Structure 1
Amino acid sequence: MNAQAEVRQFLVTRRARLTPETAGLPTATGRRRVPGLRREELASLAGVSVDYYIRLERGNLSCASDGVLEAIARALQLNDVERAHLFDLARAAQARAPWQSPRSTLRPGLQAMVDAMTGVPAIVRNQRLDILAGNRLGRALYSELYRAPARPVNLARFAFLEPRAHDFWVDWPEAADATVGVLRTEAARSNDPGLTSLVDELCARSEQFRARWAAHDVRLHGAGTKQLNHPVVGSLEVQYETLQPPIDPGLTMHVYTARPGSASALALERLTAWSLDQLPEKDSTHDRNEDLGA
């Protein structure tokens, strides 16, 4: 991805959502030609010259200090995730680390930990949103994704290219927003050409993805709640927590639980029984792929 273009579009879209009123400026008189704050207004709020801010908004963050970035983040009223994204973009503009292909398999220790978690669904994904591994209950939870033989299973492709996704997620628009936001965040941290290819594919094949990608919204999947229409056990509400193993950069583990005593907890028990009867201990199609990271 073009680092300068990413910077430019992110700053422009963030500036466009502010108004003089929300920024604490005097209410403007007369018609404004563009939505949001003017560049000179944003520069004034950040305490930098207009010319300097224009250079920043053109994508030239290579010499921007942390102090300047903090000032821009405050002026744009960025939330914590957006602020981190701005710093990721700045690091990308300054120097790209040599590209390393994402792992196609898990370390034996990490795989063993996933397999040992038999009472809760667990999956591990990479920055492309490929599901690289899941315990049996994790694969049961996402059984709709595993219906297709292609591996690795990809959360973004399922969300935007598979019509069944609209039924699987109770609130598909929110799931779609979150998926794109996470991909956008990961793209700023990685120079993985496979991630770029995935984004290009989805932009070409899905108008819904293309519109969301153009918005430059970013997300982190730390913790929250998912509501699913599961084909086996029906309505299901699960809470998720994410873990990022320190020695496995780019990998994220998602673990799902249900509130004890709830209808969803009973549904997970039924799903456990179904998985033991219907699913193999390992995903048998996983080993057919010569390169899961490609």
Structure 2
Amino acid sequence: MTKIDLRTEIKEFLSSRRARITPEQAGLPAYGGNRRVKGLRREEVALLAGVSVDYYVRMERGSLAGASDGVLDALASALKLDEAERDHLFHLARQSKTPSSPRRRRPAATVRLALQQVLDAITDAPAWICNGRYDVLATNHLARALYSPVLADPRRPANTARFVYLDPEPAKTFFVDYDQIARDAAAKLRMEAGRNPHDEELIALVGELSTRSELFRQRWASQDVRLHRSGRKRLHHPVVGQLDLDVESMELTTEPGLLLTIYTAPAGTTTADGLALLASWAASQEKLVQ
């Protein structure tokens, strides 16, 4: 992949969302028993969104530059977009209104010393900072121990999406719910592509994954998008075994594009005991290095 083409992104996203909705789901009568299209017709989407057929056809061909927020909201409702999909639509429209520019290399992401100090102050839970490309930019000692399989890759910054798709055997062992993790990784990268279609490092990563992983190609072609959310994650660490962790992810308002993630477990649970054992193991490893 040499570029992310906005018109193609818009066309494939809108057509894929249209194809998944039946007239019955949209509350429309399904005239005729032999529909030639999967899902809604373009004229049906236009009717639901309250725009002309010609206008919707132009939008689905990749032209969102002139679409108002009201039109985008109506289109999102017509296509029954969820929160992540709606945000993605607005990102694509916003990028369409920006004059086209050549690919640009974003400055290398660095984490300020004060943020590293915050991570280091979190002593009982794994915590780290990443960007929208899944680059692991900074960790505390427990996160380094927990993510040791991911960090085994000598390339820096280590990248979780690269680990998931290009090291599938250790990734399947580490991520108990591997299939869901793989879907989420591709969907979050697709979301990032809508925000930053000219990010050269993102384009290179998507190109690398597309070239080397059939699974990623399938996931990427689905056009699915996903927000970073809090939730649960099950990991199998090579030293302490399975950990069922609560995940809190939050964007750093002072550092746009960076995300702080912290894993915790309720006191008295097996996972809390596992984290304590992990901390002990990490301390012993650091002593060995010294």
The CA distance in 1 between the partners of 2:276 and 2:100, in whole Å, is 45
Question: Over the residues paired in the alignment, what is the CA RMSD in angstroms?
Answer: 1.8
Deviation sequence 1:71-121 (CA, Å, 0-9, x none)? 000000001111111000001111069856244320111111111111110
Q: Which residue matches 1:149? A: 154
Partner of 1:250: 257
Match among 126, 132, 145 for residue 131 of structure 2: 126
**SS in structure 1 opposite 2:26?**
coil
* TM-score normalized with structure 2 length: 0.94
> Aligned partners of 2:286, 2:65: CA distance in 1, in Å?
51
User: Which 10-residue stretch deviates more, 31-40 or 67-76?
Assistant: 31-40
**In the alignment, which residue of structure 2 is the partner of 1:15?**
18
Kept in 2: contact 1:227–1:237 (CA 8 A): yes
- Which of 66, 69, 82 in structure 1 is aligned with 2:72? 69
- Identify the match of residue 225 of structure 2 among 218, 227, 230: 218
Which residue does 2:50 correspond to in 1? 47
1:72-83 pair list within 5 angstroms: 72-83=75-86
Aligned-residue offset at 1:148: 2.3
Match of 1:117 in 2: 122
The question of whether the paired residues in 2 share the 8 Å contact of 1:137 and 1:275 is answered with yes
**Distance across 1 between alignment mates of 2:70 and 2:222:** 26
Alignment partners' CA distance in 1, 2:48 and 2:20: 15
Query: Which residue in 2 is equivalent to 1:199?
Result: 206
Alignment partner of 2:192 out of 186, 192, 203:
186
Change (3 A) 1:156 1:279: farther
Q: Hey, what's the Cα distance between the residues in 1 that align with 2:201 and 2:37?
A: 36
- Which deviations, in whole Å up to 9, do the C-alpha atoms of 1:213-260 show, x marking residues without a partner? 011101111201100111111111101111211121111110110122
Identical-pair percentage = 49
| C-alpha contact 1:88 1:188 (8 A) present in aligned 2 | yes
> 2: distance between equivalents of 1:104 and 1:41?
45
Task: Give 2:145's match in structure 1, choosing from 140, 148, 158.
Answer: 140
Q: Is 2:176 the counterpart of 1:173?
A: no
The 2-side partners of 1:72 and 1:103 are apart by: 37
Query: Where do residues 269-284 of structure 1 align in structure 2 (5 Å cutoff)?
Result: 269-279=276-286
Q: Number of paired residues?
A: 283
Q: Is the 8 A contact 2:105 2:200 kept in 1?
A: no
Mapped pair 1:26 → 2:32: no
Distance in structure 1 (CA, Å) of the matches to 2:139 and 2:98: 34
In structure 2, do the counterparts of structure 1 residues 96 and 134 end up closer, same or farther at CA, with 3 Å as the change threshold? farther
Aligned equivalents of 1:167, 1:263: Cα separation in 2 = 19
Matched residue, 1:56: 59
Post-superposition Cα deviations, 1:123-148, rounded to whole Å, max 9, x if no partner, equal 11012110011001011111111122
Unmatched 5+ stretches in structure 2: none
**Correspondence for 1:239:** 246
Note the residue ranges of structure 1 that are not aligned, 5 or more in a row. 285-294
Residues 38 and 97 (structure 1), Cα distance of their counterparts in 2 relative to 1, 3 Å cut: closer
Normalising by structure 1, report the TM-score.
0.92
* Structure 1 range deviating more: 99-108 or 19-28: 99-108
Whichever residue aligns with residue 284 of structure 2, its letter is: D
